[in-house]
Amino acid sequence: MSTVPTVSDIGSDYSQRYGFHDPEDYFQRAPKGLSHEVVEMISRLKHEPEWMRTLRHQALDTFVAKPMPTWGDTEMLSQINFADITYFLRATEKQGETWEQVPENIKRTFDRLGIPEAERKFLAGVSAQYESEVVYHSVKEELTKQGVIFLDMDSGLREHEALVKEYFGTVIPPDDNKFAALNSAVWSGGSFIYVPKGVEVTIPLQAYFRINAERMGQFERTLIIADEGSKVHYIEGCTAPVYSSNSLHSAVVELIAKRGARIRYTTIQNWSNNIYNLVTKRALAYEDAIVEWVDGNIGSKLTMKYPAIILKGERAHGEVLSIAFAGPGQHQDAGAKAIHLAPNTTSKITSKSISKDTGRATYRGLVKIRKGAHGCKTSVQCDALLIGSAARTDTYPTMEIAEDKVRVEHEARVSKLGDEQLFYLRSRGLSYDQARLMIVNGFIEPFVKELPMEYAVELNRLIELELEGSVG
Amino acid sequence: MSMKPEAVFSCRDVHITIADKEIVKGVSLTVRPGEIHAVMGPNGSGKSTLANGLMGHPAYTVTGAITLAGADITGLTPDEKARKGMFLAFQYPVAVPGVTVASFLRAAVSAVRGGEVPVREFRKELLARMADLEMDPAFAGRYLNDGFSGGEKKRLEILQLLMLKPRFALLDETDSGLDIDALKVVAEGINTAATDDVGMVLVTHYQRLLNYVHPHVVHVFMDGRIVRTGGPELALELEEKGYDWLAPVAAAAGA
């Protein structure tokens, strides 16, 4: 009975809650633009091993050689000025293990975003990235005792080089796509997680990503390895100040779920509407493993992101549950991919999008079943809700099924925020705004109920702000 | 003649058009506290348009004058009307997936009563009213009208009537789609809601519901107009003779 939307928070807006920024007073800052010098500087500053330095330089060459995508929102993509972006910003000299060790202005930022409070209440570990690097990192001692590694990626490389070298870039090679190459060249920060055999991390680990500077690029790199029979839930959130100029966020996230392991990866993406969010996320699921992407895209100017699961071992199961909210001027080009390589693997894709006013939501998905992968089951469901006559939605569901003995379900539905629904709710005393919010909250309920309670409340509030149209 | 109490609801010369087509062609009604009126008419006569138009459906253009407990509500929005004590039980209630009956009703009750109702108190009241209507408590957790049978939808409308306690209620074909047992339960709910200070209009095609809910006034509605008004006996006459015998009256009214 607790899902009654309240309107008490109306009036607060993105600019006030997330859109503020600190002075850009940084410890180290790469010159603007992309070059081998910048790549070299990043690698040197991080004291990286030779193989990583080489990988970065080669990836930069790949990035330069690869053309921009010829699909998706090519018009918006063409507006990115790669030369006008800062690719590396080190805000502080040292990472804090307690919030007291974090520089005052940065700590204040995360306070305002509620991160220390969330950590106290319900998280097993927290990583807070500010610009290019993680400025605060903490993990509950009992996890460390169980052998769980939860580090920022830079520390992961320093402290567990062999493990990183074995898996880094194996799920998403640097030449996978132009933006994966860019990330591989200039990556910084992100999370490195290893969960040993049979260990179940019962409370979530969280990373929070904050861009503060103007015309900034953030390129975090995350690698999660869940060893046989282990279990982990990782949550990421992101925000940035509101600027009139554009910034770029291009992450690469690789998940490896070994036999019988289970990974849930939850994202609440709430970048300000001047951020290009071009992310590659992919998981490998071995025998009997389960991988779930729970992906919420509320913010950004343009998001292009299609979390993928490669079902490599028999009976592996993959799920992608996503919502996208596209307000005026936003384009959420999101989707999912399920690649069935082994027999008896199953996948489920549920995509919900809301387009409001001139907002545009695109579902782009791929389900592939290899010849010989018999007994596979897959279901894809796309629901789009349009608010206003200018709102737009497109669906591109690609199915490549090379095996006969499989079950494939696909359903796509587009609905308009209905006059009849509004009239019904309003005839019961709910104002137009309340009625609209109730319908939208109902629409995203299947997604919201998969979130930890605190995030569900936050997401409902974000949607409410978006509907109000007060988001800058 | 004794002084009659002030009308709880009235409308004067109401015309309703949709997409430039006039459906309701001049209707006047006066409902006093404690009165139940039946508006009976054949299919396609514009009964539902009258009900939806009076409540303020945005697709309809309404002219004329409407009052609720003495106040002019002609130009008000549906939610303003609801907060002033007007209610419409829908013939075809729409589904709102993802919104539970309980959360919807709590929001509605809070809106109509003008303040948050404490959860515990609300829950107690809701479960009591659901028991009155012989509804499974699990019903409260289902999504609003989503996958409901016709009978379940009608029961939910009456549950809302009982929870929102309006001064004036319009019930549009509430008897349709109900088996006899459900009809009795629903009728009992309507009778409970029809207290001395409440006015009601039952819009119906058949006499069936009127065996359990006894109207004081019966209006025959044809081709967008009230063509005859009488006492309860008029309903029985319609049951016996159908509507055809009144067709010449309706034709004359339209001439």
A3 touches chain B (CB under 8 A): yes
Chain B positions in Cβ-Cβ contact with residue A428 (cut-off 8 Å): 79, 82, 104, 108, 111-112, 160, 164
Identify the pLDDT of residue A10: 33
Average pLDDT, chain A: 91
- Which residue ranges form the domains of chain B, and what is each CATH number? 9-92+166-254 (3.40.50.300)
Please indicate whether, in this complex, the C-beta atoms of B98 and A446 are within 8 angstroms of each other: yes
Domain assignment of residue A371, yes or no: no
- Rounded to whole angstroms, the Cα distance separating A277 from A307 reads 13
A435 touches chain B (CB under 8 A): yes
| Distances A108 to A212, A274, B113 between C-alpha atoms, Å | 13, 23, 42
**Mean pLDDT computed over A303-315:** 98
Task: State which of A246, A272, A305 marks the end of a domain.
Answer: A305
Domain assignment of residue A85, yes or no: yes
Question: Which of the residues A1, A381, A444 would you substitute to probe the B interface, choosing the one with the greatest number of B C-beta atoms within 10 Å?
Answer: A1
**Structure confidence at residue A109 as a pLDDT band (50, 70, 90):** confident
**Structure confidence at residue A55 as a pLDDT band (50, 70, 90):** very high
Domain check: are A271 and A124 in the same one?
Answer: yes
Domain assignment of residue A148, yes or no: yes
Identify the pLDDT of residue A60: 98
Residues 6 or more apart whose CB falls under 8 angstroms from that of A373 comprise A340, A341, A342, A343, A345, A403, A406
Domain assignment of residue A372, yes or no: no
Domain assignment of residue A366, yes or no: no
Identify the pLDDT of residue A143: 92
Identify the pLDDT of residue A9: 36
Q: Which two tokens stand for residue B73?
A: 């509500």
Domain assignment of residue A138, yes or no: yes
| Distances B110 to A431, A438, B68, B117, B118 between C-alpha atoms, Å | 12, 14, 21, 6, 9
Identify the pLDDT of residue A335: 95
Task: State which of A248, A273, A305 marks the end of a domain.
Answer: A305
Identify the pLDDT of residue A471: 38
**Mean pLDDT computed over A400-427:** 92
pLDDT exceeds cutoff 60 at B156: yes
Domain assignment of residue A404, yes or no: no
Please indicate whether, in this complex, the C-beta atoms of B96 and A442 are within 8 angstroms of each other: yes
3-state DSSP assignment of residue B1: coil
Identify the pLDDT of residue A13: 67
Chain B positions in Cβ-Cβ contact with residue A446 (cut-off 8 Å): 98
pLDDT exceeds cutoff 70 at A342: yes
Virtual torsion, Cα A104, A107, A112, A117, nearest 10 deg: -130
**Structure confidence at residue B255 as a pLDDT band (50, 70, 90):** low
Please indicate whether, in this complex, the C-beta atoms of B108 and A429 are within 8 angstroms of each other: yes
Range of the domain at A129: 14-305
Q: Is the pTM of this model over 0.80?
A: yes
For B9-20, the pLDDT digits (tens) are 999 999 999 989
**CA closest to A437 among chain B residues:** B99
**Structure confidence at residue A12 as a pLDDT band (50, 70, 90):** very low
**Structure confidence at residue B186 as a pLDDT band (50, 70, 90):** very high
**CA closest to B94 among chain A residues:** A421
**CA closest to B126 among chain A residues:** A1
Question: Which region among A8-17, A147-156, A457-466, B117-126 has the lowest average model confidence (pLDDT)?
Answer: A8-17
Identify the pLDDT of residue A201: 95
**How many domains in chain A?**
2
Query: Smallest Cα–Cα separation from A293: which of A261, A329, A248, A262?
Result: A262
- Rounded to whole angstroms, the Cα distance separating B226 from B25 reads 9
Identify the pLDDT of residue A1: 36
**Mean pLDDT computed over B174-200:** 93
Identify the pLDDT of residue B176: 86
Three-state DSSP string of chain A:
CCCCCCCCCECECHHHHCCCCCCCCCCEECCCCCCHHHHHHHHHHCCCCHHHHHHHHHHHHHHHHCCCCCCCCHHHHCCCCHHHCECCEECCCCCECCHHHCCHHHHHHHHHCCHHHHHHHHCCEEEEEECCEEEEEEECHHHHHCCCEEEEHHHHHHHCHHHHHHHCCCCCCCCCCHHHHHHHHHCCCCEEEEECCCCECCCCEEEEEECCCCCEEECCEEEEEECCCCEEEEEEEEECCCCCCCEEECCEEEEEECCCCEEEEEEEECCCCCEEEEEEEEEEECCCCEEEEEEEECCCCEEEECCEEEECCCCCEEEEEEEEEECCCCEEEEEEEEEECCCCCEEEEEEEEEEECCCEEEEEEEEEECCCCCCCEEEEEEEEEEECCCCEEEEEEEEEECCCCCEEEEEEEEEECCHHHHHHHHCCCCCHHHHHHHHHHHHHHHHHCCCCHHHHHHHHHHHHHHHHCCCC
CB atoms inside a 10 Å sphere around CB B212: 16
Please indicate whether, in this complex, the C-beta atoms of A442 and B90 are within 8 angstroms of each other: no
Domain assignment of residue A369, yes or no: no
Task: State which of A253, A275, A305 marks the end of a domain.
Answer: A305
Contact A359, A333 (CB under 8 A): no
pLDDT exceeds cutoff 90 at A27: no
**Mean pLDDT computed over B112-134:** 93
pLDDT exceeds cutoff 80 at A6: no
**Mean pLDDT computed over A411-431:** 91
**CA closest to B123 among chain A residues:** A1
**Structure confidence at residue B250 as a pLDDT band (50, 70, 90):** confident
